[in-house]
């Protein structure tokens, strides 16, 4: 085996922590990521966890990236191997020249290591056991001790870590000082016994700026608070549960009446997803802004109600934090696999508005906007997140709110308007945009009441099975969907430096990997214009973008090229012009994957014609 020199890199490497679920490692690992951020160096952390509470393997990966590449990179430069169960695989996954950090308390046979990596043994258990007697303390402080050792090895400023610990345990002096003590135990041992720092190191920089570090689910929940949601009904399902939990904690802070202390919100944990969406529909029908958060299996259960929302025209906001399906699938792995299921959810002819945020900042904005859209369009709006955005901390621009903004409550006929003698037909298209007026229950003693039903009815909400009446209504719903096209967030286009015949379409959590891949591809000589789709129905610029290029790659995280199918279906595009680039193993898509797939395809296009090659 050739001698592999150790990887040397400043502010650009990947550290992966291999832990046992439930061992309390998560907070130490997050502290590690935050410490690097406080050095002014962007990080992109990811939880890779099993569908389990205690005992199974879990990983936490931190990509340290001065250049700000927030997608997953692939590969591991340093493995912090704290889980004997996954040792062999973990050791094997280290890049040649990488580093293995492990607990050297018990001797390991040399066959368990690799020659092409640097092995760093720290007797964590021995240090911990000689300091602490309580088993739980031993467990928790062991994590802080390895953090301390990493501090020395990667040249992190211990003051920065201490300050973060101080913020975390503000007012809990005992916990604060014991954590700081543990940190220094590990750091001092490493400084005395190991060559510090390593080739991998963190150097202070200024690349973080005013960006914030937040989970998409929490951001979406905050968007619901800002967007005026008052009713939330939900049923626990990974990876969406933290949306409702975050909404609860945001509401506790920001939604209590200062005088009475009473709640300006109602949150119900339903008995299932059917009840959750039922509560949302009931509340929205009655004029409150309501939402639910769920994942694939929940969407399947909700589809009957989604059809009712579409047909009876009742606002609803559904946040779908996508995970790998079908069926129970991989509940803790990410995918963008519910595009078709949501776009056409329910029996009969239906179409629904989908919003695709790329990160927590957009999750916040789109969540708030979803309530305006739902009430304006009187239909279900899906906020399509996925596990990668939802359950990982992501560096993003700060959240913004315009205090002059008023909620768009849509077309609601009031008692005054009814008194004026305005003609009220619940399903009457008065403005030509396909959107009728509605009234809230209890508006007027004699005017404006109507009977809401999932059965067909005429423009005045009267039951009817007349073919012409039914078709008239269905056509109006199409008109309404066309109206939606210009209301939803528009796609964003970025052109290549040089004119090119090729384009790429992508959406949602693929965004950071795509941005990075563009750079890699450019370096390989491939120029691509790119367009990030942010909503369905597709804006007309999507079709023109496709028309402007010989062909367009559609990058997505599912097997069946669902976005591509939707574009082909809705815009009548020749499928040959859309080349699918598909990643669907449950891990987040990487720039390497995209660049390789597109690069290989592009290279094939440049193959010299056979005749020319022979002569």
Partner 1 sequence: MTYIAKPKFHHPGLKKNELGYTHRDYEGKISTLCAGCGHDSITASIIEACYELSIEPHRVAKISGIGCSSKTPDYFLGNSHGFNSVHGRMPSVLTGANLANRDLIYLGVSGDGDSASIGFGQFAHSIRRAVNMTYIVENNGVYGLTKGQFSATADRGSKSKKGVTNTDNAIDLVAIALQLGATFVARSFSGDKTQLVPLIAAAIRHKGASFIDVISPCIAFNNHAGSTKSFDYVREHNDAVNRLDVLVGREPISVDYAPGTVQVVEQHDGSRLALRKLDADYDPHDRLGAMTFLQKHAAKGQIVTGLLYVDPDAEDLHTHLDTVETPLNTMDERALCPGSAVLDKINASLR
Q: Residue 164 CB, nearest distance to partner 1 (Å)?
A: 11
Binds partner 1 (CB under 8 A): choice among 87, 113, 169, 226:
226
Nearer to partner 1 (CB atom), residue 255 or residue 577 = 255
How far apart CA 360 and CA 358 sit, in angstroms, is: 7
CB burial class (10 A; 0-12, 13-18, 19+) of residue 529?
buried
Q: Segment 77-136, which members bind partner 1 (CB under 8 A)?
A: none
Assigned token pair, 498: 């040089």
Nearer to partner 1 (CB atom), residue 173 or residue 271 = 271
Q: Segment 196-215, which members bind partner 1 (CB under 8 A)?
A: 208, 210-214
Binds partner 1 (CB under 8 A): choice among 244, 275, 337, 591:
275
Q: Residue 174 CB, nearest distance to partner 1 (Å)?
A: 23
DSSP E strands, 83-215: 94-103, 118-122, 200-201, 212-215
Q: How far is residue 515 CA from its own chain's centroid? A: 16
Binds partner 1 (CB under 8 A): choice among 114, 444, 459, 601:
444
Q: Residue 203 CB, nearest distance to partner 1 (Å)?
A: 20
| Contact residues for 224 (Cβ-Cβ < 8 A; gap 6+) | 232, 247, 291, 317, 319, 367, 368, 371
Kindly indicate which of the ranges 399-407, 528-536, 551-559, 596-604 contains the residues binding partner 1, using the contact rule CB under 8 A: 399-407
Q: Segment 457-516, which members bind partner 1 (CB under 8 A)?
A: 458, 462-466
CB 13 within 8 A of CB 78: yes
Residue located via tokens 């949501």 = 342
- Closest by CA to 13, choosing from 86, 60, 58, 74, is 74
Element holding 178 (H helix, E strand): helix 173-193
CA angle 441, 446, 451 (to 5 degrees): 45
428 binds partner 1 (CB under 8 A): no
CB 589 within 8 A of CB 583: yes
Residue located via tokens 């700000």 = 68
Nearer to partner 1 (CB atom), residue 359 or residue 529 = 359
Residue located via tokens 């690097």 = 36
Element holding 393 (H helix, E strand): strand 393-396
Nearer to partner 1 (CB atom), residue 165 or residue 337 = 165
Count of residues touching partner 1 (by CB under 8 A) = 78
315 binds partner 1 (CB under 8 A): no
193 binds partner 1 (CB under 8 A): no
Q: Residue 397 CB, nearest distance to partner 1 (Å)?
A: 9
| Strand 76-81 with 551-556, pairing | unpaired
173 binds partner 1 (CB under 8 A): no
Binds partner 1 (CB under 8 A): choice among 327, 406, 608, 615:
406
Q: Residue 361 CB, nearest distance to partner 1 (Å)?
A: 10
Q: Residue 518 CB, nearest distance to partner 1 (Å)?
A: 28
Nearer to partner 1 (CB atom), residue 209 or residue 519 = 209
410 binds partner 1 (CB under 8 A): no
Q: Segment 10-39, which members bind partner 1 (CB under 8 A)?
A: 37
How far apart CA 133 and CA 152 sit, in angstroms, is: 26
Assigned token pair, 397: 């621009």
Question: In 3-state terms, what secondary structure has residue 432?
Answer: coil
557 binds partner 1 (CB under 8 A): no
Binds partner 1 (CB under 8 A): choice among 191, 266, 417, 520:
266
End-to-end CA distance of the chain: 42
Binds partner 1 (CB under 8 A): choice among 10, 194, 399, 487:
399
Nearer to partner 1 (CB atom), residue 213 or residue 545 = 213
Kindly indicate which of the ranges 124-132, 175-183, 276-284, 606-614 contains the residues binding partner 1, using the contact rule CB under 8 A: 276-284
Assigned token pair, 89: 């695989």
Residue located via tokens 């909700």 = 302
233 binds partner 1 (CB under 8 A): yes
- Closest by CA to 239, choosing from 392, 398, 426, is 392
Nearer to partner 1 (CB atom), residue 235 or residue 506 = 235
Nearer to partner 1 (CB atom), residue 267 or residue 573 = 267
317 binds partner 1 (CB under 8 A): no
Binds partner 1 (CB under 8 A): choice among 87, 169, 450, 551:
450
Per residue in 281-297, is it b (16+ CB within 10 Å) or e — as a string?
bebbbebbbbbbbbbbb
Q: Residue 246 CB, nearest distance to partner 1 (Å)?
A: 12
Assigned token pair, 244: 């409702």
Element holding 353 (H helix, E strand): strand 353-355
Nearer to partner 1 (CB atom), residue 173 or residue 465 = 465
Kindly indicate which of the ranges 15-23, 150-158, 270-278, 564-572 contains the residues binding partner 1, using the contact rule CB under 8 A: 270-278
40 binds partner 1 (CB under 8 A): no
What is each CA distance from 104 to 31, 81, 152, 163, in whole angstroms?
23, 11, 17, 29
Q: Residue 380 CB, nearest distance to partner 1 (Å)?
A: 14
Nearer to partner 1 (CB atom), residue 250 or residue 539 = 250
Phi, psi of 292, rounded to the nearest 5 degrees: -135, 160
Nearer to partner 1 (CB atom), residue 224 or residue 578 = 224
Per residue in 383-416, is it b (16+ CB within 10 Å) or e — as a string?
bbbbbbbbbbbbbbeebeeeeeeeeeebbebeee
Kindly indicate which of the ranges 46-54, 401-409, 472-480, 565-573 contains the residues binding partner 1, using the contact rule CB under 8 A: 401-409
What is each CA distance from 358 to 117, 190, 511, 521, in whole angstroms?
36, 40, 6, 21
Binds partner 1 (CB under 8 A): choice among 166, 326, 442, 525:
442
Assigned token pair, 375: 């009430």
Kindly indicate which of the ranges 41-49, 405-413, 514-522, 581-589 contains the residues binding partner 1, using the contact rule CB under 8 A: 405-413
Question: In 3-state terms, what secondary structure has residue 74?
Answer: coil
254 binds partner 1 (CB under 8 A): yes
Nearer to partner 1 (CB atom), residue 186 or residue 436 = 436
Binds partner 1 (CB under 8 A): choice among 75, 331, 454, 586:
454
Binds partner 1 (CB under 8 A): choice among 88, 272, 423, 482:
272
């Amino acid at each position: 085996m050739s001698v592999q020199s150790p990887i040397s890199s400043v502010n650009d490497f990947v550290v992966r922590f291999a832990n046992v679920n439930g061992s309390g490692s998560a907070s130490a690992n997050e502290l590690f990521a935050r410490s690097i951020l406080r050095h002014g160096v962007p990080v992109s952390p990811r939880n890779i966890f099993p569908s389990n509470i205690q005992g199974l393997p879990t990983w936490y990966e931190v990509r340290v990236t001065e250049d700000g590449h927030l997608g997953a990179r692939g590969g591991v430069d340093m493995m912090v191997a704290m889980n004997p169960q996954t040792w062999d695989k973990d050791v094997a996954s280290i890049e040649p020249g990488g580093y293995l950090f492990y607990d050297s308390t018990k001797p390991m046979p040399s066959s368990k290591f690799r020659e092409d990596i640097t092995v760093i043994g720290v007797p964590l258990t021995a240090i911990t056991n000689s300091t602490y007697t309580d088993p739980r303390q031993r467990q928790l402080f062991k994590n802080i001790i390895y953090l301390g050792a990493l501090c020395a090895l990667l040249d992190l400023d211990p003051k920065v870590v201490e300050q973060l610990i101080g913020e975390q345990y503000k007012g809990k002096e005992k916990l604060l000082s014991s954590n700081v003590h543990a940190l220094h135990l590990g750091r001092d041992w490493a400084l005395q016994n190991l060559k510090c720092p390593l080739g991998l190191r963190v150097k202070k920089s200024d690349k973080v700026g005013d960006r914030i570090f937040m989970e998409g689910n929490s951001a979406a929940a905050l968007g619901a608070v800002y967007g005026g949601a008052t009713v939330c009904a939900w049923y626990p399902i990974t990876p969406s549960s933290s949306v409702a939990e975050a909404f609860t904690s945001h509401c506790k802070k920001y939604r209590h009446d200062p005088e009475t202390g009473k709640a300006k919100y109602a949150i119900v944990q339903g008995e299932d997803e059917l009840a959750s969406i039922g509560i949302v529909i009931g509340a929205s029908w009655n004029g409150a802004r309501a939402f639910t958060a769920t994942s694939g299996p929940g969407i399947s259960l909700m589809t009957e109600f989604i059809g009712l929302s579409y047909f009876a025209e009742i606002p609803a906001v559904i946040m779908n934090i996508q995970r790998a399906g079908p069926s129970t699938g991989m509940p803790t792995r990410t995918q963008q696999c519910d595009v078709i299921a949501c776009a056409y959810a329910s029996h009969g002819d239906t179409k629904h508005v989908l919003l695709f945020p790329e990160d927590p900042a957009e999750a916040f904005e789109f969540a708030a906007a979803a309530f305006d859209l739902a009430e304006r369009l009187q239909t279900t709006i899906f906020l399509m997140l996925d596990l990668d955005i939802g359950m990982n901390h992501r560096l993003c621009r700060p959240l913004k709110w315009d205090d002059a903004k008023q909620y768009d409550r849509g077309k609601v006929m009031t008692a005054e308007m009814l008194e004026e003698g305005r003609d009220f037909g619940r399903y009457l298209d008065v403005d030509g945009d396909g959107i009728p007026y509605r009234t809230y229950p209890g508006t007027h003693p004699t005017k404006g009441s109507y009977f809401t039903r999932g059965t067909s009815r005429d423009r005045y909400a009267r039951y009817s099975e007349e073919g012409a009446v039914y078709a008239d209504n269905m056509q109006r719903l199409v008109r309404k969907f066309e109206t939606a096209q210009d209301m939803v967030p528009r796609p964003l286009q970025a052109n290549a430096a040089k004119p090119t015949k090729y384009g790429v379409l992508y959406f949602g959590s693929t965004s950071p990997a795509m941005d990075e891949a563009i750079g890699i591809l450019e370096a390989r000589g491939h120029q691509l214009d790119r367009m990030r789709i942010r909503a369905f129905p597709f804006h007309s610029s999507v079709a023109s973008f496709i028309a402007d290029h010989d062909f367009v790659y559609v990058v997505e995280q599912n097997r069946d090229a669902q976005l591509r199918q939707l574009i082909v279906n809705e815009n009548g595009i020749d499928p040959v012009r859309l080349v699918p680039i598909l990643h669907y193993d449950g891990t987040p898509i990487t720039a390497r994957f995209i660049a390789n797939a597109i690069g290989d395809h592009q290279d094939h296009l440049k193959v010299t014609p056979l005749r020319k090659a022979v002569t």
